[in-house]
Amino acid sequence: MTPRCHVPWQQMVIDANGTVNPCCYWSAYGNLNPACGNLNETPLLEIWNGPVYQNLRRNMARGDLVAAGCANCLALRQGNVMGLQFDPDVATETSPASPYAQNMHVLREEIARGATVLQAKPTVVSLTASYACNFRCIHCYQDAMRGLRIRRESAIEEVLALIPYLDQIIPGGGEPLLHPLWRKFLTRAEISVNPYLQLSTTTNASLVTDEVLAGLARFKRLALNVSLDGGTKAAFETVRVNGRWERVVANIDRMIELVRRKGPPSFVSVTMSVMKANLRDLPHLVEFAIRRGITFGLSPVISMPVDQSLTCFNDPVAETTGWREAIAEARRRHQQLGLEIRGAPPPGHTHFDVLEETIPWAIFQQPHYSVEGFVPSRLVRNCWKQFGRDVLVGFFPVVGRQLQECRYYAPLEGERYRVWLPEGEFALGFFPRNMYPSPLPSYRIRVSVAAGLGRLETIRLPMPGASAVKAVEKALRHVAKTALGHLLPDASKKALKRILVRP
Ligand SMILES: C[S@@+](CC[C@H](N)C(=O)[O-])C[C@H]1O[C@@H](n2cnc3c(N)ncnc32)[C@H](O)[C@@H]1O
Ligand code: SF4
C-alpha cells in the first residue's frame, strides 16, 4: 500500500540536544512519541534504520496511523500530506548517474514495497546545531535550552556527508542565520556535487545581509519561511522581542525579489505562531501575505507557555474577547483580497479551521468564578529555589478520575494566586513559564458555588508511594528498638535517627 506520508522514508529532524525525530510534529502539538535516537550517542545512519524508524515505516505502510504514532499529527489535520520530495528535473537523467538520482531511484523502489530497513540514504535533513538566537520571542519554547549544542563533532560531518544525496537541507535554530555553521555553509559550501539541492529554512529574517542573499542565490530551489507572528509593527514587536519591524519587512521583500528571480517552486512564506498576544492581529497578517503574493501558515501555541496558549486561561472571558471576530475577519480578508488581487476567490484555508478546532470554545459557555487561593509558604520557597520568582500555577481539571490537560493558569504572587475557574476539582502544578506544565500528584483544589460566588477549598491527597514509605519507616523503627539496632555502627545509628525523627 502507498504510504500516506513520505516523511518516515525521507526525513530526519535533528535537534541541538542531539535527538532525532522524523518531523517536527512527532513530539509536539499534543504528540508525545519517543525520539528515534540521539546523535550524541549513535551514528546517524544507525538511527535511520533503528527500531523507531522501522516501526514507523511498517505502520505507515500499512496505513495504521494510530500504531505509527501519527493519528494526532498537526500537519495531517491541516491537510498537509507529505508526498515524495524530489526535484522533477532528475528525470532528465534517464540512466541515473548522479548520487542524488541513484539514491532517489533506490528510495522509490523501497517506498513502493513499504521497506522498513532502507538502503537509500535520508533525503531531507533538518539540523539545529544550537538554539542560539538574537531574538527573545515571548512564546519561544527554546528559551530554557539556549546553551545546548550537539556534542559529538563527527555528528555534524555525518550530516554534511549526506549533501550529495539530499533533496533538501534544512538549517534549523535558534536563528539559523546567526549560526557560523550555516553562514559558512550558505556562502562557501561545495554544493556543485548536488545540483538539485533545495535549501529550506524558517528564519526570523533579521540577519539577511547581502552576503546571505548571495549565498541563498547559489541554491537551485529555495523554501524560505519567515516567522512573522504579526501583520503590524505593534503585534510583531510585542511577540518578537529584539525584532525591528521595518528591517524584517525590508528583508522579506528582498527575499521575495530573489525567489521571484528564481521562479517556482522557490517561495517565501510567512507564519504566525498564533497566541493570546497576536490572535487579534490575524487579519493584518493575512493582508500582509496576500498583498505580497506569498502564502501564510498558522501554527497555534498550545502546551506552553501557558500564559500565551490558546487552550489555557486565567480569565477566559477577558482573554478571548474579539477572537471569533478576528478569525472571521481574517477569513473574509483572505477571500476578498484573494478575489481582488488574483481575480478568483481562493480555496478555503485549512489553517483557519484547525485554529478554530484548537480553541476550546465549549468551556466559555460554562460560568466561571473569580477565586483566590493560598499556597503553603514551604512550597512557595521550594518553587522559588527551583525556578526563580517567575512561577505560574497550572490547574488541571479532574474529570472522573482522569486529569485533563492544563486548562487554567495564574501567576503566583507571593503565596497567593487569582484565577477564574468553573465549578469542579482541579489538580495543581507549579512551573516557570518556559516549561511544560505538569501537575503535582498530591495537591488539589475544589471550587464550589454558593449564592453565585465561587468558594475554593484545598484537598490534600496522600503522596503516591506514601504507604510504602510508612511501611519502610515502621520496619526501621523496629530495627532501631531491637538488639539489632545496638549492633549497628555509630554512623548508621545516627543516619537511622535522622530518618526516624524526620517530620
Ligand atoms: C523555534 S523557531 C526557529 C527558527 C527561527 N528562529 C524563527 O523564529 O523562525 C521555529 C518556529 O517555532 C515557533 N515557535 C516557537 N515557540 C513556539 C511555541 N511555544 N509554540 C508554537 N510555535 C513556537 C516560532 O515562532 C518559529 O516559527
Ligand atoms: S526568533 Fe525563533 S528561535 Fe529566536 S526566540 Fe524567536 S521563535 Fe525562538
Give 190 Cα–ligand 1 centroid separation in angstroms: 29
Question: By alpha-carbon position, which residue is closest to atom 6 of ligand 1?
Answer: 175
- 279 — phi, psi (to 5°)? -55, -40
Residue 189 in this model has a pLDDT that exceeds 50: yes
Collapsing DSSP states into helix, strand and coil, what is residue 397? strand
Instruction: Provide mean pLDDT across the span 186-207.
Output: 94
How far are the Cα atoms of 178, 435, 456 from residue 173, in angstroms, in the given order? Answer: 9, 18, 44
- Tens digits of per-residue pLDDT, 242-251? 999 999 999 9
Question: By alpha-carbon position, which residue is closest to atom 17 of ligand 1?
Answer: 140
pTM over 0.85, yes/no: yes
Question: By alpha-carbon position, which residue is closest to atom 3 of ligand 2?
Answer: 174
pLDDT at 503: 34
pLDDT at 281: 98
- Name the residue of 141, 275, 276, 312 to mutate for ligand 1: max ligand atoms within 8 A of Cβ: 141
- Dump the DSSP string for 419-482: EEE-SEEEEEEEEETTS-----SSEEEEEEEETTEEEEEEEEPPPTTHHHHHHHHHHHHHHHHS
Collapsing DSSP states into helix, strand and coil, what is residue 300? strand
Give 175 Cα–ligand 1 centroid separation in angstroms: 10
Residue 7 in this model has a pLDDT that exceeds 70: yes
What percentage of the chain reaches a pLDDT higher than 90?
Answer: 79
pLDDT at 283: 98
- Dump the DSSP string for 239-276: HSTT--HHHHHHHHHHHHHHHHHH-TT-EEEEEEEE-T
Residue 1 in this model has a pLDDT that exceeds 60: no
Give 133 Cα–ligand 2 centroid separation in angstroms: 6
- What is the rounded CA–CA span in Å between residue 393 and residue 384? 13
- What is the rounded CA–CA span in Å between residue 28 and residue 24? 7
Question: By alpha-carbon position, which residue is closest to atom 7 of ligand 2?
Answer: 140
- Position 491 confidence tier, pLDDT thresholds 50, 70, 90: low
**Mean of pLDDT over the chain:** 92
Residues 398 and 426: beta-carbon distance below 8 Å: yes
CA neighbor of 294 nearest in space, from 238, 232, 346: 346
Question: By alpha-carbon position, which residue is closest to atom 6 of ligand 2?
Answer: 137
pLDDT at 465: 59
Give 272 Cα–ligand 1 centroid separation in angstroms: 9
Task: Pick the ligand that lies closest to the CA of residue 227.
Answer: 1
Which atom of ligand 1 lies at the shortest distance from residue 300's CA?
Answer: 21
What percentage of the chain reaches a pLDDT higher than 70?
Answer: 93
104-108, 145-149, 453-457, 486-490, range with the lowest pLDDT: 486-490
CA neighbor of 137 nearest in space, from 363, 304, 311: 304
- Position 502 confidence tier, pLDDT thresholds 50, 70, 90: very low
pLDDT at 500: 58
Residue 239 in this model has a pLDDT that exceeds 60: yes
Which letter, b or e, does each residue of 163-175 get, where b requires 16 or more Cβ atoms within 10 Å of its Cβ? bbbbbbbbbbbbb
pLDDT at 79: 82
What lies within 8 Å, CB to CB, of 113 at 6+ separation is: none
Q: 301 CB under 6 A from ligand 1?
A: yes
CA neighbor of 129 nearest in space, from 167, 85, 185, 168: 185
CA neighbor of 133 nearest in space, from 62, 41, 227: 227
91-95, 317-321, 393-397, range with the lowest pLDDT: 91-95
- Tens digits of per-residue pLDDT, 295-310? 999 999 998 999 999 9
- What is the rounded CA–CA span in Å between residue 439 and residue 196? 49
51-55, 329-333, 391-395, 485-489, range with the lowest pLDDT: 485-489
Give 140 Cα–ligand 1 centroid separation in angstroms: 6
- Tens digits of per-residue pLDDT, 398-450? 999 899 999 999 999 999 999 999 999 999 999 999 899 999 988 999 999 99
Residues 473 and 466: beta-carbon distance below 8 Å: no
Residue 51 in this model has a pLDDT that exceeds 90: yes
Residues 136 and 201: beta-carbon distance below 8 Å: no
CA neighbor of 398 nearest in space, from 366, 424, 360, 361: 424
- Tens digits of per-residue pLDDT, 144-188? 889 898 999 899 999 999 999 999 999 998 999 999 999 999 998
pLDDT at 3: 72
**Range of 190-199, 252-261, 349-358 with top mean pLDDT:** 252-261
144-148, 351-355, 481-485, range with the lowest pLDDT: 481-485
- Tens digits of per-residue pLDDT, 117-135? 999 999 999 999 999 999 9
Question: By alpha-carbon position, which residue is closest to atom 9 of ligand 1?
Answer: 203
Q: Compute CA 278 distance to the chain's CA centroid, rounded to the nearest angstrom.
A: 18
- Position 280 confidence tier, pLDDT thresholds 50, 70, 90: very high
Helix ranges restricted to H, 82-173: 99-112, 153-160
Backbone Cα Rg of the chain: 27
pLDDT at 498: 61
* Helix 210-217 and helix 245-262, axial crossing angle in degrees, nearest 10: 20
- What is the rounded CA–CA span in Å between residue 200 and residue 216? 10
- What is the rounded CA–CA span in Å between residue 10 and residue 59? 15
Residue 501 in this model has a pLDDT that exceeds 60: no
What lies within 8 Å, CB to CB, of 315 at 6+ separation is: 368, 370, 419, 420
